[in-house]
Structure 1
């Protein structure tokens, strides 16, 4: 999908302008091999046009765009910086340009996820969630349904606003949210930034839990068993992408559980940004044994035990770990 390359090129160019191209190393999913093929001229042109359209908007967000439009060679150069393999030392960024491809295609939830990792530790996380509703009640509805209903009832800015960027720096003790401006709306940055915090709910019967929409790489049945054994009564909130991490950080949900099927390896760009955001918002993230996630082993979360648990606080976290322990031996994962 050309969008992935477009986002990678845009983010890479902006980071390079801020820090210098020699200082920017990015772990990301897409490389330039396909774009360099002889029959990819049309695709490369589409990517380049999209990148230039995005960068033309940079001043609205307090950033400086290019003086003239980028050529295809400059776009390829920006994408080529996305070839880091990570590791335990040094500084690199990790980027998921379109996390939740199906959500993006369907007009539902998706995220652009960027994190900075230094010596194996995530030190900065940014989640751009363009379709995230400001009213959490809408999170469980499909975006197309939201559009239909909004046309049938009088819209108010508070009711129908959507889109935000959530970010956090390790050790800051806070996670912050910036609502996205509507088209033609002047952005007020950082005056409209506000802190977000995890929910105070620690009673499982009142908690909302998230799980992936897709069943291909996660076990809904095991998650349902854990949920039942620990007393979760609400239906799971199935949301595409790292928006699940954003929902917990904002206090719109309390628990995210993912138990991968045998053979599936989690990639660092699918979790890094969300982990530090939840932690700085007051939550807890670990593998399903209770250990911290390890981002120092390359592009995969090597050594991940059983699955991933993210939640609003230590009481819920301990209950989930106990429920997983009690159920694991009888599972087929």
Structure 2
């Protein structure tokens, strides 16, 4: 049952992401990091498959008529009995410690075959009409594998506009005021003070709360940090050079007078980090003319930053358009910054990229 203010959608999204992070942490701590290669050669872990199954199951139970765009498909699991069995063991044994919350999500998936069918429900083509959820079960798979930053990402789009966004970041500190450094959360542990849920509803602001094993923790409002001197800003970018042009980012930072080294992090944890003021700018710059971003890599983070007082555009100062299908077909790159300084950042971006 959907709600006009999206409160129910947010609650289910938060619970679903929180439960999925329990599975991903189990995978990491048990060293069950079996990987497969997809056609695009990016690593896929058993955590990706398991987290996607759990999230789609919750969405199907609560919003059965909604479409879903998700990164993974079950073809590889259908062909690999060993990995399929491992994923199934994880899925059937991952539960919130809060019985009421678990019941809200629809409870356990009934069989391995049902799990495979659920994973394949994420095959929507997306588009500009209707209610469509976008899922990245583990964004930043390489960060996940090395015990660094990753995020479980979920967003609801209605008629192509993002209305709800949730990010589960198990390796970020709960403390919103902890400064952003490259080694922040590099040690994947279940220590107290580790793991945060970011969320937003369009027009209602953004929040963070500690990741827990049971009921949802109380939220705290988050906002981007005001920048009085842009040369003092901290900017973050992708770890992988194939995801963003680090040379262009360095040239832009120089043009803005920024002397601090960039903070390189995997995943949409970057969006969450700048939304709560731990960092200031996020640059993701095209590495080639043919590279096109996927909607699940940006939908939740885009909304959370905007609701925290930021502006998110592409490198040509166009808003990210999530109505074009499974990819951001009309956008190139991402530039996220506090609203007051975004024009200055875009000016530097266009100057550097335009001179090439």
Aligned length: 308
Quote the residue 1:318 is aligned against: 343
Contact kept? 2:167, 2:300, Cα under 8 Å: yes
Give 1:328 shift. 2.1
Give 1:12 shift. 0.6
Asked if residue 31 in structure 1 is aligned to residue 73 in structure 2, the reply is yes
Give 1:145 shift. 5.5
Asked if residue 125 in structure 1 is aligned to residue 160 in structure 2, the reply is no
Compared with structure 1, are the counterparts of its residues 322 and 144 closer, same or farther at alpha carbon in structure 2 (3 Å cutoff)? closer
Give 1:79 shift. 0.8
SS of 1:81's equivalent in the other structure is helix
Quote the residue 1:6 is aligned against: 50
Quote the residue 1:153 is aligned against: none
Compared with structure 1, are the counterparts of its residues 79 and 90 closer, same or farther at alpha carbon in structure 2 (3 Å cutoff)? same
Quote the residue 1:207 is aligned against: 233
Q: Deviations over 1:229-259 (max 9, x none)?
A: 0111221111110000000111101100111
Contact kept? 1:48, 1:70, Cα under 8 Å: no
Quote the residue 2:270 is aligned against: 244
Task: Please list, as runs of the form range in 1=range in 2, the aligned pairs for 1:99-248 lying within 5 A after superposition.
Answer: 99-135=139-175, 136-137=178-179, 139-141=181-183, 143-144=185-186, 161-172=193-204, 174-181=205-212, 187=214, 189-190=216-217, 192-248=218-274
Contact kept? 2:58, 2:106, Cα under 8 Å: no
Once residues 46 and 264 of structure 1 are traced to their aligned partners in structure 2, the CA distance between those partners, rounded to angstroms, is 34
Give 1:330 shift. 2.4
Compared with structure 1, are the counterparts of its residues 86 and 216 closer, same or farther at alpha carbon in structure 2 (3 Å cutoff)? same
Give 1:62 shift. 2.4
Q: What stretches of structure 2 of length at least 5 have no aligned partner?
A: 1-44
Once residues 215 and 81 of structure 2 are traced to their aligned partners in structure 1, the CA distance between those partners, rounded to angstroms, is 39
Quote the residue 1:288 is aligned against: 315
Compared with structure 1, are the counterparts of its residues 68 and 270 closer, same or farther at alpha carbon in structure 2 (3 Å cutoff)? closer
Q: Deviations over 1:96-132 (max 9, x none)?
A: 0000011100111100010001111111100000111
Quote the residue 1:154 is aligned against: none
Give 1:316 shift. 1.6
Compared with structure 1, are the counterparts of its residues 29 and 67 closer, same or farther at alpha carbon in structure 2 (3 Å cutoff)? closer
Give 1:61 shift. 7.8
RMSD of equivalent CA atoms: 2.1
Give 1:83 shift. 0.7
Compared with structure 1, are the counterparts of its residues 270 and 61 closer, same or farther at alpha carbon in structure 2 (3 Å cutoff)? farther
Q: Would you identify which runs of 4 or more consecutive aligned residues in structure 1 move more than 6 Å?
A: none
Compared with structure 1, are the counterparts of its residues 272 and 33 closer, same or farther at alpha carbon in structure 2 (3 Å cutoff)? same
More moved, 93-102 vs 138-147: 138-147
Contact kept? 2:256, 2:348, Cα under 8 Å: yes
Give 1:166 shift. 0.6
Once residues 71 and 291 of structure 2 are traced to their aligned partners in structure 1, the CA distance between those partners, rounded to angstroms, is 16
